[in-house]
Amino acid sequence: MLNVGVIGTGVMGAEHARLLRREVAGARLAAVCDTSMDRAETVAQGARVFADAHELIAEVDAVVVASPDATHADYALASIALGKPVLCEKPLAASAADGLRIVEAEIAGGRRLVTVGFMRRFDPAYVEMKRELLSGRIGRAVILHNIHRNVSAPDWFTGAMTITNSFVHEIDISRFLLAEEMVDVQVSAAPGDDPLMITMRTDAGTVVSSEVNINAGYGYHVHAQIVGRSGTVEMAPPAVVTSNLAGHGRLSYASGWVPRFADAYRRQMQAWVDGIVDGRPVGASAWDGYMTTAIAEVAAGAMRSGERTAIRLPQRPPFYD
């Protein structure tokens, strides 16, 4: 039974804690930590409560980081230092430079300990799309269409946050689906820089076309389609029922990513726990987390210039093969 500690008990931390208590085999919620002790107590439901994240890291078998973005790198590095597996909510770090430090620390430690919580990799639809591509039935991928729509952005969402906060999911899932690296990026923005249409090309020549729309209005909607040389595969509408009402046939969209990706979050947590027990790394690695942040930084520049911009990043270290 793996004793897991959760740092941060906001929306995502509370959800991770709930999964550990109620839906995941082989692990238990051993401890939580938050700057708000009240919130921590509510989420703990009997688990130990820490005010200091570093103390929590020292006391548990494995760590989930769901605290504010700016703290991720610090807790990831602390987990590595103590040899504790860590599932870190995205982003791995606030900058590519910080992400690279985590990569270097992990390599120096000689053990794969970091998983970045890009939960889409565990969503059954993305998994099935990748399986279909690998089956060869649709031929070699030539285009990947991504659509990422949020109902509405909070007030503090400004400038390049559409890229650094939302589009990072497309960067990661595109690398996951295609197993190719991005070589350039070009951004076309609608009025007010919202929504964005972002075109990337990979080292194999595949075109990745992404709509990132943080004020779609009608619902939270994520879609993807891989176009191959002989066919395509795409997500089905993510609804378990449809209805007929008031003149319309209809299906309901989720209100946000937690309900939409509920099963992906659960599968990610179960796979992470199983992977620790079995000694296998699962999910997005520290390297993936670094690359995503680094590509997002280039894309933010491309958004300002409007020009096609080359992405020049280091080769993947053999450690992550």
What part of residues 256-275 is at the interface with its own copies (CB under 8 A)? 263, 270, 274
Task: Give the interface segment with its own copies, choosing from 36-44, 103-111, 199-207, 284-292 (CB under 8 A).
Answer: 199-207
Residue whose C-alpha is closest to residue 206's, from 117, 156, 283, 139: 139
The answer to whether residue 279 forms part of the interface with its own copies (CB under 8 A) is no
The answer to whether residue 3 forms part of the interface with its own copies (CB under 8 A) is no
Residue whose C-alpha is closest to residue 56's, from 114, 7, 117: 7
Which residue in 121, 175, 221, 260 binds its own copies (CB under 8 A)?
221
Which residue in 161, 207, 258, 313 binds its own copies (CB under 8 A)?
207
Residue 27: CB minimum distance to its own copies, A: 8
The answer to whether residue 24 forms part of the interface with its own copies (CB under 8 A) is yes
Alpha-carbon distance of 180 to 203, in angstroms, equals: 6
Which residue in 136, 159, 231, 317 binds its own copies (CB under 8 A)?
231
Q: Which two tokens stand for residue 155?
A: 């007030």
Residue 67: CB minimum distance to its own copies, A: 24
Residue 255: CB minimum distance to its own copies, A: 8
186: exposed, middle or buried (Cβ count in 10 Å: 0-12, 13-18, 19+): middle
Give the amino acid at 115: T
| Cα-Cα-Cα-Cα dihedral sign, residues 250, 253, 259, 262 | positive
**Contact call for residues 33 and 49 (beta carbons, < 8 A):** yes
- Name, in order, each residue with C-beta under 8 angstroms of 19's C-beta and a sequence gap of 6 or more: 265, 266, 269
Which residue in 11, 51, 134, 143 binds its own copies (CB under 8 A)?
143
Q: Looking up tokens 């509408």, which residue turns up?
A: 237
CA angle in degrees (0–180, nearest 5) for 108-168-100: 20
Which residue in 25, 46, 155, 156 binds its own copies (CB under 8 A)?
25
Which residue in 99, 195, 283, 289 binds its own copies (CB under 8 A)?
195
Task: Give the interface segment with its own copies, choosing from 107-115, 160-168, 173-181, 237-245 (CB under 8 A).
Answer: 237-245
Residue 124: CB minimum distance to its own copies, A: 5
The answer to whether residue 206 forms part of the interface with its own copies (CB under 8 A) is yes
Q: Which two tokens stand for residue 208?
A: 């990745």
The answer to whether residue 186 forms part of the interface with its own copies (CB under 8 A) is yes
